[in-house]
A and B are shown apart, each in its own frame.
Chain A
Amino acid sequence: DIVMTQTPLSSPVTLGQPASISCRSSQSLIHSNGNTYLSWLQQRPGQPPRLLIHQMSNRVSGVSDRFSGSGAGTEFTLKISRVEAEDVGVYYCMQAIQFPYIFGQGTKLEIK
């Protein structure tokens, strides 16, 4: 199975400041069709997960443009340009190129 490693596991951020979460995969997530199958999900306290970004950089409709995804091959980043109170929660990266899909350990975003 592909191993997904996220850093940091906890990220205290000041409101209005940027935040960044890194994710590394043990294998390339680039499909033969050229797409990179890395997703980012947000889980607010007491809520189910919510997909934010798929195929590394495609933001889901309705997701704030403060969220952006980037990366290449096996190294990926989720950036939040200006953290708001509603962004508090746990963020997961997930590989969707090979079953079983595997999630990273999660990064807890909290307000300083």
Chain B
Amino acid sequence: EVQLVESGGGLVKPGGSLRLSCAASGFTFSDTWMSWVRQAPGKGLEWVARIKSKTNGGTTDYPAPLKGRFTISRDDSENTLYLQMNSLETDDTAVYYCTTDHFHWGQGTLVTVSS
């Protein structure tokens, strides 16, 4: 059974940083493209970042507005996906979901950016 378990969310002040983790199991993580998607309170879904498998180059992609502040990475030896978020803004407040390129989803971790 595919399992994705996010962690690392919490309350952070504007301008601060946070690193999210996603522990994956039940599938061949190293072969799978992985992504982060977020959902602001009461709002829709927004793609945050994607990382391809190493066999596909391991390249990363971000929507233009988030490029430079967010960094997605993976540790295939630990079956873990990461999202490093810097210079956080109040608009970054959201539930952050880990997903296998939209086929399987974790339960999400809440990030609140507030002074």
User: Do residues A96 and B106 form an inter-chain contact, with CB atoms below 8 A?
Assistant: no
| Chain A positions 74 through 112: 1 when the CB is less than 8 Å from some CB of chain B, otherwise 0 | 000000000000000000101010011111111000000
User: Do residues B47 and A100 form an inter-chain contact, with CB atoms below 8 A?
Assistant: yes
User: Do residues A94 and B102 form an inter-chain contact, with CB atoms below 8 A?
Assistant: yes
User: Do residues A100 and B106 form an inter-chain contact, with CB atoms below 8 A?
Assistant: no
8 Å CB contact of B44 from A48, A60, A103: A103
Asked if B70 is at the interface (CB within 8 A of a chain A CB), the reply is: no
Tell me the complex Cα distance, A43–B37, Å.
Answer: 14
Evaluate whether A105 and B44 lie within 8 angstroms (CB atoms) in the complex, with A99-B50, A100-B61, A100-B63 already known. Answer: yes
> Which B residues lie within 8 Å of A96 (CB)?
101-102
Instruction: Tell me how many residues of A have a C-beta within 8 Å of chain B.
Output: 21
| Chain B positions 39 through 61: 1 when the CB is less than 8 Å from some CB of chain A, otherwise 0 | 00000111100100000000001
Evaluate whether A99 and B44 lie within 8 angstroms (CB atoms) in the complex, with A51-B103, A94-B102 already known. Answer: no
Tell me the complex Cα distance, A94–B50, Å.
Answer: 15
> Which A residues lie within 8 Å of B97 (CB)?
48-49
Q: In chain B between 85 and 111, which residues have their CB closer than 8 angstroms to a CB of chain A? A: 97, 99, 101-108
> Which A residues lie within 8 Å of B44 (CB)?
92, 103-106
| Inter-chain pairs besides A100-B61, A103-B45, 16 sampled, C-beta below 8 Å | A39-B102, A48-B105, A48-B108, A49-B45, A49-B102, A49-B105, A51-B104, A60-B103, A96-B101, A96-B102, A99-B47, A99-B50, A99-B61, A100-B63, A103-B44, A104-B44
